[in-house]
Each structure stands twice: as C-alpha cells, then as structure tokens.
Amino acid sequence: MTADPTLREPVIGLIGGSGLYDIDGLEEREWRRVDTPWGEPSDELLFGRLAGVRCVFLPRHGRGHRTPPSALNYRANIDALKRSGVTEIISLSAVGSLREDLAPGHFVIVDQFIDRTFAREKSFFGPGCVAHVSVAHPVCPRLGDALEAAARGLSLPVTRGGTYLVMEGPQFSTKAESLLYRSWGCSVIGMTNMPEAKLAREAELCYATVAMVTDFDCWHPDHDAVTVDQVVKVLFSNADNARSLVKAVIPALGVPRGPCPAGCDRALEYAVITAPEKRDPALVAKLDVVAGRVLNAA
Ligand SMILES: CSC[C@H]1O[C@H](OP(=O)(O)O)[C@H](O)[C@@H]1O
Ligand SMILES: Nc1ncnc2[nH]cnc12
C-alpha cells in the first residue's frame, strides 16, 4: 500500500507475441484461468512478480502458438488483463521491416498504427451502448519513455517512433502491398497490434509495443519472400533480448503511479454517447470491468 491515496500500485501486463510464450524469472508464478464475458482469452494468464512488481503475462497466440492473428479473441484478452488488475500493457511483437535501416534484431518502439485489418471484433461497445474513444495517439508516451530508456541502457538496437502497419494475414504481403506500405511511410508490418491497441484504449489501459524485427518483408531486393523458418531463426534471439528488456523496464514502471499524463486511464471520460435510459442493460453488464468506471458513475 502507498501512503498517498492518489497513487496506485501498478500491475504490469505483458502480452508475448510469436516466440514469447512464457516469462522466466517470475517469483510466485502461477498460471490461472480467467473467464470473461467476451469468451476465452488466448490461454491461462501467468501471474507473478518481477523485482517485487506485480506482473501478469499472456501469450498472445497461446502456449504452443495455437491461434492465428484473425482468430484471436482480442476483447477477451484485454478484458482478462484488466480484470486481473493490470494498469498498463507492454506488447512484445514480431514484425517485418519496411525500412532499410531497421534490420532483423532491431527493436522499434512504435508510436502509430495503420489498421488494415477487416475480419475482427474491434470494439467492446456496440448497439445499446455506443462509444467513440480517441486513438489519435494510440501509444502511451510514459511507457514508451521507460521502454526506450531500458533498451538504451542495455545497448539494444532501438528506434523510438515509427508506424506499424497491421495487416489481416495470415499470409504475408504481396510485393505490391509491401511497396505500397513503404510509400505510406510505414516502418514495420505485423498482424496483431490492432484491434489490440484500440481495445486497450477503450479499457483505459496504457499500451505500448516493442516491435521486434525478424525480416525485411518482401520489398527488399535481397529478400525475395518471407518464410516462417527465416522468421523463427531471428525470433528466438529477439525473445532473449525482449526478456532482458522486460527485466530492465519493470523496476522503472513499478513505482506507485498517479494518473497517466497522456490520459490513457481516462479515455472513456467523454466517449459514451448513448443516453443512460437507452442503454442495453445486458451490454452494460458485460462492460462492467472495461467501462464500469464511467457507466456505473452516479
Ligand atoms: C510468426 S511470424 C507472423 C506472426 O508474428 C507476429 O505476431 P505477434 O505480434 O504476436 O508477435 C505477426 O503479427 C504474425 O502474427
Ligand atoms: N513480414 C511480416 N509481415 C507480417 N507479419 C510479420 N511478422 C513477422 N514478420 C512479418
């Protein structure tokens, strides 16, 4: 407990992408099933402490990598993390590079996304309770600062800022698509960070991604096509660096925190537009953990 009532003990949520199905070094570790009104999360969640700081880890594709990007239950994953007490989420994701200077092994702390996904549930809200949150700045700068400082402290090759193009997949891009995304100024490409980042914002959770480059996608003259074996080779060394990064950043994030300076934890303040008497009680009940702060306010 902290003496100052305006400060909260942070609980760090970690979403592990391809190649990251567990987190070592956790004390008091325990895998626990978490039920949600949105269905099943990708797997049980791993609870524990790193350097005394409470952490909750979720392997995005499940242990053994069972679920492809389009079939992930992003709503259940974010709800499960929030109902486990998580206050901020660090996503660790494999990506292809769309820039010559971002070679395999490079980490990019992205600050923007272009969402080209089309076959996913993208909101907790809907008929009976309509809300529109801002995702103009989808990444929490406070988390980005902490991740950048930790990565630089470890001398990891890291770039702060960049746009992550989120494609539907599961196939990798055509060369024409890859060239198009480069012409849009995108830095990296992957299949999972949307709607994850949008849902984290709806759930008023700070969110940041460490995009870990595994390949040059197919635009690069020296890399004709992406293959999983090529990706996997880099994935495991990236995963080792990601574990070191997590260990380095957690103590910095573990100090009692006030409100998010960027307002991530108040994203719903003016977002719900449906008149209280017109709201669907069943949907409002489902939204209890995600949006109870604003929906249940007197
Ligand atoms: C195995 S390469 C393709 C796969 O990896 C990335 O997923 P994640 O963000 O969970 O690391 C990419 O988006 C694809 O889903
Ligand atoms: N080139 C690529 N395209 C989409 N997702 C990826 N994940 C890793 N590499 C990727």
User: Which DSSP category does 174 fall into?
Assistant: P
Among 168, 179, 156, 4, CA closest to 99: 179
In the numeric block, which tokens belong to residue 7?
């400060």
Please choose from 168, 191, 227, 238 the residue to mutate so as to test ligand 2's pocket, defined by most ligand atoms within 8 A of CB: 191
Is 215 marked active-site? yes
Residues with Cβ within 8 Å of 5's Cβ and at least 6 positions away in sequence, in order, are none
Is 115 marked active-site? no
User: Which DSSP category does 119 fall into?
Assistant: S
Ordered domains of the chain (ranges, CATH): 12-295 (3.40.50.1580)
In the numeric block, which tokens belong to residue 53?
């700081």
pTM, two decimal places: 0.97
Tens place of pLDDT per residue across the chain (298 aa): 457 878 889 999 999 999 999 998 999 999 999 999 999 999 999 999 999 999 999 999 999 999 999 999 999 999 999 999 999 999 999 999 999 999 999 999 999 999 999 999 999 999 999 999 999 999 999 999 999 999 999 999 999 999 999 999 999 999 999 999 999 999 999 999 999 999 999 999 999 999 999 999 999 988 878 888 888 889 999 999 999 999 999 999 999 989 999 999 999 999 999 999 999 999 999 999 999 999 998 6
Mean pLDDT of the chain: 96
Q: How big is the CA angle at 229 (ends 227 and 230), to the nearest 5 degrees?
A: 65
User: Which DSSP category does 264 fall into?
Assistant: G
CB 198 within 8 A of CB 132: no
Nearest ligand atom owner, CA of 170:
1
> In percent, how much of the chain has pLDDT > 90?
91
- Quote the pLDDT of residue 223: 82
Distance 147 CA to ligand 2 centre (A): 22
Give CA–CA dist 264/206, Å, rounded. 5
Minimum CA distance residue for ligand 2 atom 2: 96
